[in-house]
């Protein structure tokens, strides 16, 4: 990946934890953005130390968190139905970045043999209490161990994405399927909110993807992009947080309107706020 020319796509701020400023550099060929500077591996965990980092909690303290958890419950069922539609015989499933384990809990109940990987001890312990099984790291897992691997809004957090994709290739079975969900910086809500777009989420999001970047990055490892699916709820959730970052408060009506506009425009442009990418190991 070539970021040597230091072409700045946009300057953004960490609105939720450190309040520090970052640049997003663009690889024109891949249509991929890189957060610059990227925190060291030792410093990175500190940027997750916030009660507001909602994916690491089961919190229902506020109306926002209650809505988030309700939508999450619905989305979990849809995700399991999606992977089962590609693998009706079910089988072995690895979820990288399993968080508090809710997705794997639902998948296990639907007949999948589930394994998780999660760096946050707090989230991991919550998942273990729900009966989720974990591996400590990818290197300890044998080659071609899983029929399906999922990464739900996780790839953007990985320091070395090329090495991560090689590991996915190693771990998935021949003709296995990988499901990747990431935000899309080419969506309407991203363009509308600009530096206040919550899905930039620097520096926790080290990378920012487009459809082109996902297809090209996985093609390097002979994995084929076979389907792209929209995540229509994301535009509302992201717009709500973006309103808070831009105006200092959550404006539900404005956020709903921008989320609606984003989804409406995406029906023509096919650039939704977030996408699920379905990739086959060839």
Query: Residue 117: left (phi > 0), alpha (psi -120 to 50), or beta?
Result: beta
Cα 132 to Cα 120: distance, rounded to the nearest angstrom: 14
End-to-end CA distance of the chain: 23
Per residue in 217-258, pLDDT tens?
A: 999 999 999 999 999 999 999 999 999 999 999 899 999 999
Comparing CA positions, the residue from 159, 179, 153, 117 lying closest to residue 237 is 153
Give the mean pLDDT of 262-272: 98
Give the mean pLDDT of 188-208: 98
Within a domain: 91: yes
| pTM assigned to the model | 0.92
Q: Which residue has the tokens 């953007």?
A: 156
Give the mean pLDDT of 71-83: 89
The pLDDT of residue 158 is: 96
Within a domain: 226: yes
Cα 220 to Cα 202: distance, rounded to the nearest angstrom: 27
The pLDDT of residue 190 is: 98
Per residue in 11-40, pLDDT tens?
A: 999 999 999 999 999 999 999 999 999 999
In the DSSP assignment, the letter for residue 95 is E
Count how many residues are written for the chain.
282
Pairing between β-strand 146-152 and β-strand 172-183 as defined by DSSP bridges = parallel
Within a domain: 168: yes
Within a domain: 25: no
Domain span at residue 82 reads 60-184+200-231+273-281
Per residue in 164-197, pLDDT tens?
A: 999 999 999 999 999 999 999 999 999 999 999 9
The pLDDT of residue 72 is: 74
Within a domain: 147: yes
Neighbours of 136 (CB within 10 A): 9
Within a domain: 65: yes
57 and 48 Cβ atoms separated by less than 8 Å: no
User: Domains in the chain: how many in total?
Assistant: 1
Q: pLDDT class for 67, splitting at 50, 70, 90?
A: low
Within a domain: 45: no
**CATH number of the CATH domain containing 137:** 3.40.50.150
54 has a pLDDT exceeding 50: no
107 and 124 Cβ atoms separated by less than 8 Å: no
Helix locations, the chain, DSSP H? 63-86, 102-109, 121-128, 161-171, 188-193, 211-219, 234-247, 252-269
**For the chain, what is the mean pLDDT?**
92
Cα 117 to Cα 187: distance, rounded to the nearest angstrom: 29
The pLDDT of residue 120 is: 87
Is it true that the peptide bond before 203 is cis, omega within 30 degrees of 0? Answer: yes
Q: pLDDT class for 80, splitting at 50, 70, 90?
A: very high
């Amino acid at each position: 990946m070539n970021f040597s020319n230091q072409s700045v796509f946009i300057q953004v701020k960490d609105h939720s934890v450190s309040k520090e400023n970052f640049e997003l550099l663009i690889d024109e060929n891949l249509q991929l953005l890189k957060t610059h500077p990227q925190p060291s591996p030792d410093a990175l965990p500190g940027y997750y130390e916030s009660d507001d980092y909602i994916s690491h909690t089961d919190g229902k303290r506020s109306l926002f968190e209650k809505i988030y958890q309700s939508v999450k419950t619905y989305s979990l069922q849809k995700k399991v139905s999606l992977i089962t539609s590609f693998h009706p015989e079910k089988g072995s499933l690895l979820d990288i970045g399993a968080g508090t384990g809710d997705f794997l809990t639902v998948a296990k109940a639907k007949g999948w043999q589930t394994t998780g990987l999660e760096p946050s001890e707090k989230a991991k312990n919550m998942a273990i209490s729900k009966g989720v099984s974990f591996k400590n790291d990818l290197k300890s897992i044998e080659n071609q161990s899983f029929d399906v691997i999922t990464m739900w809004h996780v790839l953007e957090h990985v320091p070395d994405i090329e090495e991560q994709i090689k590991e996915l290739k190693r771990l998935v079975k021949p003709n296995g399927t990988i499901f990747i969900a990431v935000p899309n910086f080419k969506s309407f809500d991203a363009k509308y909110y600009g530096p206040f777009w919550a899905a930039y989420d620097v520096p926790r999001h080290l990378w920012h993807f487009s459809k082109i970047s996902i297809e090209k990055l996985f093609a390097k490892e002979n994995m084929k992009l076979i389907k792209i699916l929209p995540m229509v709820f994301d535009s509302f959730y992201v717009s709500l947080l973006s309103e808070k970052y831009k105006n200092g408060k959550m404006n539900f009506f404005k956020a709903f309107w921008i989320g609606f506009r984003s989804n409406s425009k995406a029906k023509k442009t096919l650039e939704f706020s977030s996408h699920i990418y379905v990739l086959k190991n060839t």
